Chain A
Amino acid sequence: SQTIHQWPATLVQPVGSPLSLECTVEGTSNPNLYWYRQAAGRGLQLLFYSVGIGQISSEVPQNLSASRPQDRQFILSSKKLLLSDSGFYLCAWSVREVQPQHFGDGTRLSIL
């Protein structure tokens, strides 16, 4: 069966520090991968999606970037965090473009 892992589960970072969140999927090949942010415990905002290694599409211009160095690995990064980057970050995968998407447990990011 397929599983998705995100880490860390919780992260507290100072303003201006770098960020790296990692997501890996097991049990499937060539998945579509997604990063979402959820602010204030409610609505989801799609940040990035990827249909293959090295292929990243950005949905919203921002302080963040994403990379996909391996087929089942998706990384969310920032060079300098802002206070507004606080939130709950969720990674998801799907079988190519076929829905539904399956979500990880999320990373709660707090910026001080």
Chain B
Amino acid sequence: GDSVTQMEGPVTLSEEAFLTINCTYTATGYPSLFWYVQYPGEGLQLLLKATKADDKGSNKGFEATYRKETTSFHLEKGSVQVSDSAVYFCALSDRGGGSNYKLTFGKGTLLTVNP
């Protein structure tokens, strides 16, 4: 079946540091890949997405590239801010795997950015 593995953290960085959160996946069909962000006490917000190999999703300074050869979708940001402190979830939907109605989530990575 489909699965998503992401570094669980927690990750603690200083403001303006470089961020990488690793995400790898296994899928039986043709996955689309997503990063969601959850700020304290809130629901999940879609941060970025990529629907095919070599696509790069980007939003709010965050980027992730769909790497089929390494089955990865690592999240990066060049300079984090205190306001980026949140839990980040990597997820996939599998169009050809018989379960395209659902998202498969990683366990989430807690990021704390200190001033």
> Which stretch of B11-19, B20-28, B70-78, B101-109 is in the interface?
B101-109
Please tell me if the beta carbons of B46 and A43 are within 8 angstroms of each other in the complex: no
Q: Would you call A103 and B105 a contact (CB within 8 A)?
A: no
Residue A27 lies at the interface, judged by CB distance under 8 Å to chain B: no
Q: Are A49 and B107 interface neighbours, CB within 8 A?
A: no
Give how many B residues have a beta carbon under 8 Å from the other chain's beta carbons.
22
Residue B93 is within 8 A (CB to CB) of chain A in the complex: yes
Bound CA span A7–B103, Å: 23
List B contacts of A100 (CB < 8 A). 32, 34, 46, 49, 93, 103
Kindly state the separation between the CA atoms of A90 and B38 in the bound complex, as whole angstroms: 12
Asked whether B87 lies within 8 Å of A41 as measured between CB atoms, the reply is yes
Considering the complex, give the chain B residue whose CB is closest to the CB of A42: B108
Q: Any chain A CB within 8 A of the CB of B43? A: yes
Interface size class of A (residues with CB under 8 A): 20 to 34
Chain A residues with CB under 8 A of B100:
97, 99
Question: Given A49-B101, A99-B93, do A42 and B107 touch, yes or no (CB 8 Å)?
Answer: yes
Given known A-B contacts A42-B107, A42-B108, A105 and B42 have beta carbons under 8 A apart: yes
Provide the main secondary structure of the chain A interface: strand
A43: chain B residues at CB < 8 Å are 105-108
Chain B contacts of A106 at CB under 8 A? 42-43
Among B32, B34, B43, the most chain A Cβ lie within 10 Å of the Cβ of B43
Give the A-binding residues of B (Cβ under 8 A). 32, 34, 36, 41-46, 49, 87, 89, 93, 100-103, 105-108, 110
Which 6 A-B pairs give the minimum distances between C-beta atoms?
A99-B93, A103-B43, A103-B44, A43-B107, A105-B43, A106-B43
